Amino acid sequence: MKTDICIVGCGCSGLYAALQLPKNKKILMITKSDAESSDSFLAQGGICILKNEADYQSYFKDTMKAGHYENDPESVEIMIRSSQDVIHDLIKYGTDFHKDKDGKLDYTREGAHSHARILFHEDETGKEITKHLLEKVRALPNVTLLEYTTMLDIVEANNTCYGIIMRKADGTIETVSCDYVLLATGGVGGVYRHSTNFRHLTGDGIAVAIRHHITLKNINYVQIHPTTFYSPNEKDRSFLISESVRGEGALLYDKNMQRFTNELLPRDLLTEKIREQMKKDGTNHVWEDLRPIGHEQLMSHFPHIVQHCLEMGYDPEKEPIPVVPAQHYFMGGIKVNKQSKTSMDHLYAIGETACNGVHGKNRLASNSLLESLVFAKRAAKEIASAYEMLHNPMVFAHIQEADYTNMASLKQTYRHMVQAEVMV
């Protein structure tokens, strides 16, 4: 198979990248399961936005502090400064964020945030965003989306990616030749016994990177979410009890129904507190009380969480629910630059499988969707610029003037020109 660009994965980062890439280029997207079974659909809490300039320093500090100051400051700044542009795109694509009584965008607050700066749609923000992106991508005539198709490997020579090898839904194995590959393969939760992730998300991008000696970063930085619904008979993924629940006033209790910690601590610190309390009490979970949120807010903001609790035999308006930490997010991954390029030419990584340094050692709540979208767009724009440069007469004039003795020299000069163009 021959295409121009191949995107492996169809979560929010892969879909958004496809929408930003040139419409005259053929794009192949593949996903291991059905198109709706990506973790992007599972994101509950919301997506951060820089509300105004006065909020910048606070937002920046909150992100750095949550990441234990191991974040890349430049990447954090890029994400925050790009947030309004991304949100504008999402609204244009049809995303319906919650509005206040005056019809203006409403905000919620989550753990480790100094202020309310998170846009949301009930408790299914990820689904609301991603379903509209998927709808727009399905309508693009230049995009082919293959479901139940697995990337087995990439095609590589001289540290340049030339395509992928995939196994299709009917079991046939096929080689895809293309100009660029974008890895949007998601996280690693499928290798954990207790995780909020889909089971088929098993770090395929990381495996390929290891096989081909592509640079990785912080692959031991795995985030445990402090609150998932505790079920002793859990067979599938853990059901997330959103950070926003605590942001709106939910409390945590020990076995004696006494508060034991600050519910708005960063996720890693709160997880430590919960585990300490479980060990002290000799229990398999702690209790989370949603009653302080109030009936109206609970029903309008968290209807699906309430419904799940009822299905599990707990009425959150009358009693606390059992919660326990579980694997949730991968802060490390394939090391990429500010345009999401990996250490291999013509290979990009976006979304949870990539590590651009935004999250540091611990991700701040609701930065995941935003980070994925911001750097997916930057990858798409660099690739688009590269294609534009191919048709730029100045490039060919420059090439003709130079004395190139090998293709590597030519590629290096061309790459520098593309990067200079992108920065301009």
pLDDT (tens digit, 9 = 90+) per residue, 391-419? 776 655 555 554 444 444 545 555 554 45
Name the one residue in this structure whose structure tokens are 């200079």: 420
270, part of any domain: yes
396, part of any domain: yes
Residue 204 phi/psi, 5-degree rounding, is: -60, -40
What's the pLDDT tens digit per position in 313-325? 999 999 999 999 9
What's the pLDDT tens digit per position in 339-356? 999 999 999 999 999 999
CA distance 245 to 106: 16
Task: Indicate if the pLDDT at residue 236 is higher than 60.
Answer: yes
163, part of any domain: yes
CA distance 358 to 37: 25
CATH of the domain at 240: 3.90.700.10
What angle is formed at CA 22 by the lines to CA 17 and CA 141, rounded to 5 degrees?
90
- Number of separate domains in the chain: 3
Q: Are residues 242 and 125 in the same domain?
A: no
Q: Are residues 28 and 120 in the same domain?
A: yes
Element at 368 (helix H, strand E): helix 368-390
411, part of any domain: yes
Q: Are residues 347 and 306 in the same domain?
A: no
Q: Which of 328, 330, 367 is nearest to 218 (CA)?
A: 330
275, part of any domain: yes
Q: Are residues 112 and 215 in the same domain?
A: yes
What's the pLDDT tens digit per position in 248-291? 999 999 999 999 999 999 999 999 999 999 999 999 999 999 99
Query: What pLDDT was estimated at residue 98?
Result: 96
CA distance 38 to 16: 14
Element at 165 (helix H, strand E): strand 160-167
Q: Residue 271, CB half-sphere, CA atoms under 13 Å: how many?
A: 15
Q: Are residues 139 and 19 in the same domain?
A: yes
Q: Which of 21, 39, 23 is nearest to 31 (CA)?
A: 39
Query: What pLDDT was estimated at residue 390?
Result: 80
Q: Are residues 247 and 183 in the same domain?
A: no
Task: Indicate if the pLDDT at residue 124 is higher than 50.
Answer: yes
Q: Are residues 138 and 183 in the same domain?
A: yes
226, part of any domain: no
Query: What pLDDT was estimated at residue 401?
Result: 52
Q: Identify the band that residue 421 occupies on the pLDDT scale cut at 50, 70 and 90.
A: very low
| Mean pLDDT of all residues in 210-230 | 97
Q: Among residues of the chain, what percentage have pLDDT more than 70?
A: 92
Q: Which residues are catalytic?
A: 267
What's the pLDDT tens digit per position in 158-179? 999 999 999 999 999 999 999 9
Query: What pLDDT was estimated at residue 5?
Result: 98
Q: Are residues 212 and 235 in the same domain?
A: no
CA distance 25 to 16: 15
> Given 278, 297, 327, which residue is the final one in a domain?
327
Where are the extended beta strands (E) located within 106-159? 118-119, 143-146, 150-157
Query: What pLDDT was estimated at residue 422?
Result: 39
Query: What pLDDT was estimated at residue 420?
Result: 46
* Chain mean pLDDT for the chain: 93
Task: Indicate if the pLDDT at residue 100 is higher than 50.
Answer: yes
Give pTM, 2 decimals. 0.89
CA distance 186 to 13: 9
Residue span of the structural domain in which 289 resides: 231-327
| Mean pLDDT of all residues in 5-12 | 98
CATH of the domain at 92: 3.50.50.60
Query: What pLDDT was estimated at residue 395?
Result: 58
Q: Tell how strand 333-335 and strand 354-355 pair up.
A: parallel
164, part of any domain: yes
What angle is formed at CA 235 by the lines to CA 231 and CA 237, rounded to 5 degrees?
80
Q: Are residues 202 and 126 in the same domain?
A: yes
Q: Which of 210, 214, 274, 276 is nearest to 241 (CA)?
A: 274
Alpha helices in 154-294 (DSSP H): 204-211, 243-247, 267-281
Q: Residue 47, CB half-sphere, CA atoms under 13 Å: how many?
A: 35
Q: Give residues with Cβ within 8 angstroms of 424, minimum separation 6.
A: none
Query: What pLDDT was estimated at residue 412?
Result: 54
Q: Are residues 374 and 417 in the same domain?
A: no
Element at 80 (helix H, strand E): helix 73-93
Task: Indicate if the pLDDT at residue 374 is higher than 70.
Answer: yes
Q: Give residues with Cβ within 8 angstroms of 48, minimum separation 6.
A: 59, 83, 117, 118, 119, 364, 366, 367, 370
Q: Residue 218, CB half-sphere, CA atoms under 13 Å: how many?
A: 25
| Mean pLDDT of all residues in 188-209 | 95
Residue 118 phi/psi, 5-degree rounding, is: -110, 120
What angle is formed at CA 130 by the lines to CA 21 and CA 268, rounded to 5 degrees?
110
Q: Are residues 348 and 416 in the same domain?
A: no
Query: What would the two tokens of residue 180 be?
Result: 């660029």
Strand partners, 324: 228
> Given 327, 344, 370, which residue is the final one in a domain?
327
| Mean pLDDT of all residues in 145-162 | 97
Q: Which of 99, 16, 87, 75 is nearest to 49 (CA)?
A: 87
What's the pLDDT tens digit per position in 28-39? 999 999 999 999
Q: Identify the band that residue 235 occupies on the pLDDT scale cut at 50, 70 and 90.
A: confident
Query: What pLDDT was estimated at residue 392?
Result: 72
Q: Are residues 170 and 279 in the same domain?
A: no
